[in-house]
Structure 1
Amino acid sequence: MSPFSRVLSTFFALIIVLFFLINTTTISSSLFTKINAFSHFLATFHGKNNHHYSSNDQTDQPNLSLRRSTWRNPFIAFKGINDISPSSVFTKKNISRAISPDIAKCGPVELPPNAITLPYCCPILPSPLKIIDFKEFAKPNAPLRVRKPIHLLDDEYMAKLEKGIAIMKSLPENDPRNYIQQAKVHCVYCNGGYPQKPPFQNLKIDIHRSWLFYPFHRWYIYFFERILGNLIGDPNFAVPYWSWDSIEGMQMPKYFANPNSSLYHHLRDPRHLPPYIVDLNYHVNAESTTQDQQVKYNLAFMYKQMVLADTKEVFMGGVYRHGDQAQPAIGSVELAPHNTVHKWVGRADLPSQEDMGTFYTAARDPIFYPHHSNLDRLWGIWTSLDGGRKDYRDDQDWLDSEFFFYDENLNLVRVNIRDSLDTKKLGYVYEEVELPWLNASPKPSRSKLQRQEKKASLLASSQDPMTTTITKFPLVLDSKVSVVVNRPKKLRSKLEKEREEEVLVMEIVDLHSDKDVKFDVHVDDDEEMLSGPDKAEFVGTFTSVPHGSHKSKTKYLVAISKVLEILEAEEDENIVVTLAPIVGKGLVSIGSIMVEYIPK
């Protein structure tokens, strides 16, 4: 080999090393600039000796292969590193795209611009970094912890919860089991503290509005429960649940309203102390109603969010893989009652309804944990409906998605979703209560003839530019508006409806993440006199919890097969969808509305 060939070989070897580093490490912009300049030098050198290099050969399209064309400028693929797409990286179907946070690269979280506190939410990491994989499954014959509804518990049991919270609050601030440190776990996962792993380190992880919502919170409550039980010397202690979906549990538990208790929190809405009935469709401008009427509203609302939401996409949220943008689609119960109860508890007179009303501080309120214990219970109930509903357990990326938590022995533990699917293997079950919402199917507010006449009138006037019926998008939702949406299929057979759910899909764009936003969705309703939550025409609500300072986008899915049956509208070629902004008018836009058919 000639000396010149050896020089070229050395240069090419160096190129390969640098190419590998770029794909496996996070590179600052300044370093990237230097590498890019160096690559141009190499390319020029190579071009002078091969007489075919030209700057016109460059391309801005991401290219992660080492084809001959890229040797002319081996780092050209990274000119737009923020624009790398999953399809250009994951070229083989068997490559895992499971989400896993890069915990060593944790950084400041995104807060609302008017945040009342500025927490640093990253966890305290051991040095050197040591992580163990979760293997603490319950032994086959070991007694199971039983999570019970708070309204059925006695003072003695609740005293244990009070004691555990008090001990956690007294621990040193640098102890991962400290109460505020535990609260920061929620903050860092929900407000973009963790980046995805390379080459998508520019994308922040958010466990909300996606298929990560339920399993993340299941693990979160699990480790919180283990820590608390260890601190009080009772490994069988279980975090109780706040059963706001049952009639007896539809008020803030009295134990959390005692100012002398560790369960008390000063940043709560003082109007909502017991015996005030919780509003599962709450918003800050909500008008008061009678207790009996509120219970009726709540039960019908739960029926819609649980029973009608019969596909995994509608109930659990959208698919979220490595390389994807966060918040692909939000699930029904995550929207409400999850979001609404958060805001019902938080202070309405604070900028972001702290503490429960915004994600960066929500877990500072002790009622957060019984609230999410109930949501975990509802996930289990949903999977048991209709003889067993399908979740995402046939998707390897969902099963392999990872989170990190500290256990009661100060070990940093890596967990995945696959190990969370059976609560008995995690050592706990739920004591059930009656589910009155299972039989709370809503009724129409008007007769079929009245609806048809109103709909015909609206369709006839839809060509008039002065009416509120529109067909153009994007739509800034600053006032009540109706949209005519075509149905690709009508008069579906029973078998077709058993196989596929008819779903109203709304693309949410330009959502102001730092603001409280809520709008209700109605189908074939009277725009001038919209129905309440207990009526069939009211099909859902979109409500956001402030947790950032940017504009975001997501999707909102509403199952309407059963609704169309109730409204006797299955033979109609279209439906009229009315969007009614309740809070935050003009702070969200709708990119599109369409009907899709999703397999069950």
Structure 2
Amino acid sequence: MPFVRKNLSALPKWDPAILWYARGIAVMQLRPLNDPTSWRWQAGVHGFGPGNLEPGDPPIGNATIDRYLAQCQHGSWYFLPWHRGYLSAFERIVRAAIAAIGTVEAKTAAKTWALPYWDLSKPNWRLIREEFRVQTLPTGEDNPLYVAERNPGFITGNVGITAKGVALDKILKTPDFGGSGGGGGTGFGGPETDFFHGPGALGALEGGIHNYVHGQVGGADGFMSDFDHAGLDPLFWLHHCNIDRLWEVWRKRDSLHKNPADPKWLNGPKTKKFRLYDQTGHEWMFTSSQMADTNVQPLDFSYEDVSDPLPGVAIPGHLHGFAKAAPASTGIMAMFGKNRQIEVLGATTPGVSLGSGRQKARVAFAAPKKTGAPGLKGFLGAKPKAERYLLNLENITGTRRGLSYAVYVNLPDDGDPETDEHHFVGMLNLFGVERASDPADSHGGSGLTFVFDVTGLVREEGVAITKPGAISVDFVPENADTPDNAAHVGRISLVRETA
């Protein structure tokens, strides 16, 4: 029988699922860094750098680091399957740590214990629970769930998580799992890549609620807003459990929502395989295809609730074709029009700096090219079945992590961002921006990229169907402590994608 992951937010105070989580972590924290079942090793699998080392730590060779640590997939269509495998291995390690306590009570608890998920769908559920804010357990021992390295507001439970920041309507209506990147849609789960220890261009789920909660919980200096330390906060695992659950919600809510059938996704990256350690200390390798069904081995869990939070809300008509079309490709398939086509209509050069106040940018664009190719019939001359307009925020760099900006398109100058939901297109959160901005990093400091579907606003305003025009883009800071010159958006572009 699969283990059942329950909703953290609906559990009674110090429910056994929470208390045994704390006790399992306590066992893991006693183990040395070089033990793959230790708390710090497990956090290091997500991100690992010199700042993760403490005096007296046993040495870990570069080959071991390259093979097992700093492996998380971000800005990639492997984001969801990799993290599902990561969560599964971690869950089994915690379960084994609970059993290792040795009491009859602990061994019994270990037989059914599963990670809870942090559902944020109700206002009071967006507060950090008391169990993660007090420094002692009910029995008087130190509380491993308490971490001081968080947004200072966590002491009261309120780290500023808003309904707008965790909104799911646009995310769950994303029709396609993967995307092409390169200006086109990035999909629900992220753009097609090989092994990619991002960040980079973000899929709808990762760039939305995932990044936002990381930033709000971690704040300017906390664990959760930093790639290399996020896994040291016990809330990290419960947040990612909810992100994983939302993959199931997305998949089940519409028959058009499908995981990729491409062997490149099913079999995993070519350049580097997914490797973790299991609860026995042995290497475990897995592929995306093995992560597709939570009830089929090597997985063995289900979620308490995967019901649709948007009942009756279907994929918008203009997106149907993207649910069925393959992402943009190159080579012979591109020649015959089997892929999506991307056309940049306009872009800002240079970009815009973001600070403590509302910032507006203007993007002028040309009329879209006529569909089809003169003198050619058949595939190349065919009218597209689907069309969408995408706002690309590219090469976002900065040094202050944990900040969020609400992004609006064509918001009137006298419009109130606090009450205007119509022009709101999504949240830009700077989780990972420090690494993405570092020229010495593997991606050369190219920054983050966010992609928002703005088709409804563009068509409604009548600005981009048959003639040139312009759109305005507003960035409104969400955090009271946002400094001046917090970040820079290198380019803002409007893209037409057809399928």
TM-score (norm 2): 0.69
Q: What are the Cα deviations for residues 439-470 of structure 1, in whole angstroms up to 9, with x where unaligned?
A: 899xxxxxxxxxxxxxxxxxxxxxxxxxxxx9
Q: What is the correspondence of 1:237-252 to structure 2 with a 5 Å cutoff?
A: 237-247=113-123, 249-252=125-128
Give the % identical residues: 25
User: How much does 1:327 deviate?
Assistant: 4.2
- The reply on whether 1:480 has 2:375 as its aligned counterpart is no
1:317 to 190, 201, 219: 190
In 2, distance between residues paired with 1:532 and 1:572?
Answer: 33
Counterpart of 1:170 in structure 2 is 30
SS at match of 1:477: strand
Counterpart of 1:329 in structure 2 is 201
Counterpart of 1:279 in structure 2 is 161
1:375 to 240, 243, 246: 243
Counterpart of 1:576 in structure 2 is 471
Q: Does the 8 Å contact 2:87/2:237 carry over to 1?
A: yes
In 2, distance between residues paired with 1:507 and 1:195?
Answer: 35
In 2, distance between residues paired with 1:235 and 1:372?
Answer: 22
User: How much does 1:432 deviate?
Assistant: 0.7
Q: Does the 8 Å contact 2:74/2:202 carry over to 1?
A: yes
Counterpart of 1:147 in structure 2 is 5
Q: What are the Cα deviations for residues 186-237 of structure 1, in whole angstroms up to 9, with x where unaligned?
A: 1149x999999xxxx9xx9762222222122111111010111122232432
In 2, distance between residues paired with 1:497 and 1:242?
Answer: 44
Counterpart of 2:452 in structure 1 is 558
In 1, distance between residues paired with 2:23 and 2:72?
Answer: 32
Counterpart of 2:233 in structure 1 is 365
Q: Which moved more, 1:565-574 or 1:216-225?
A: 565-574
In 2, distance between residues paired with 1:553 and 1:353?
Answer: 20
Q: What is the correspondence of 1:189-588 to structure 2 with a 5 Å cutoff?
A: 207-233=73-99, 234-247=110-123, 249-260=125-136, 261-273=143-155, 276=158, 278-280=160-162, 295=163, 297=164, 301-308=167-174, 312=178, 313-321=186-194, 326-346=198-218, 348=219, 352-397=220-265, 399-401=267-269, 402-425=273-296, 426-432=299-305, 436=309, 472-478=348-354, 479-486=359-366, 488=368, 499-500=385-386, 502-506=388-392, 508-509=394-395, 511-512=397-398, 515=401, 518-529=404-415, 531-532=417-418, 535-546=421-432, 547-548=434-435, 549-550=438-439, 551-563=445-457, 573=467, 574=469, 576-580=471-475, 582=477, 583=482, 585=485, 587-588=487-488
SS at match of 1:414: strand
In 1, distance between residues paired with 2:406 and 2:459?
Answer: 21
1:158 to 9, 12, 18: 18
Q: What are the Cα deviations for residues 121-152 of structure 1, in whole angstroms up to 9, with x where unaligned?
A: xxxxxxxxxxxxxxxxxxxxxx0111110123
In 2, distance between residues paired with 1:413 and 1:395?
Answer: 21
User: How much does 1:326 deviate?
Assistant: 4.9
User: How much does 1:356 deviate?
Assistant: 1.2
Q: Which moved more, 1:541-550 or 1:174-183?
A: 541-550
User: How much does 1:590 deviate?
Assistant: 2.9
1:580 maps to amino acid: F
User: How much does 1:516 deviate?
Assistant: 5.3
In 1, distance between residues paired with 2:367 and 2:403?
Answer: 28
SS at match of 1:367: helix
Q: Which moved more, 1:164-173 or 1:508-517?
A: 508-517
Distance change (3 Å), C-alpha of 1:208 and 1:471? closer
In 2, distance between residues paired with 1:388 and 1:152?
Answer: 31
2:475 maps to amino acid: A
Number of aligned residue pairs: give it: 398
Distance change (3 Å), C-alpha of 1:405 and 1:487? farther
In 2, distance between residues paired with 1:180 and 1:554?
Answer: 27
In 2, distance between residues paired with 1:553 and 1:226?
Answer: 35
1:144 maps to amino acid: P
Distance change (3 Å), C-alpha of 1:360 and 1:572? same
Q: What are the Cα deviations for residues 65-93 of structure 1, in whole angstroms up to 9, with x where unaligned?
A: xxxxxxxxxxxxxxxxxxxxxxxxxxxxx
TM-score (norm 1): 0.58
2:146 maps to amino acid: Y
Q: RMSD over aligned Cα, in angstroms?
A: 3.8
Larger Rg: 1
Counterpart of 1:23 in structure 2 is none
1:340 maps to amino acid: Y
Distance change (3 Å), C-alpha of 1:524 and 1:480? closer
SS at match of 2:475: strand
Q: Does the 8 Å contact 2:367/2:465 carry over to 1?
A: no
SS at match of 1:521: strand
Q: Does the 8 Å contact 1:242/1:253 carry over to 2?
A: no
In 2, distance between residues paired with 1:339 and 1:156?
Answer: 29
Unpaired runs of 5+ in structure 1?
Answer: 1-142, 281-294, 442-469, 491-495
User: How much does 1:316 deviate?
Assistant: 1.7
Q: Which moved more, 1:416-425 or 1:541-550?
A: 541-550
Distance change (3 Å), C-alpha of 1:310 and 1:212? closer
User: How much does 1:276 deviate?
Assistant: 3.4
User: How much does 1:372 deviate?
Assistant: 0.4
User: How much does 1:157 deviate?
Assistant: 2.9
Unpaired runs of 5+ in structure 2?
Answer: 53-59, 100-109, 137-142, 179-185, 315-345, 371-381, 440-444
User: How much does 1:392 deviate?
Assistant: 2.8
User: How much does 1:498 deviate?
Assistant: 11
User: How much does 1:431 deviate?
Assistant: 0.7
Q: Does the 8 Å contact 2:277/2:284 carry over to 1?
A: yes
Q: Does the 8 Å contact 1:225/1:238 carry over to 2?
A: yes
Q: Does the 8 Å contact 2:46/2:227 carry over to 1?
A: yes
1:339 maps to amino acid: N
Distance change (3 Å), C-alpha of 1:585 and 1:236? same
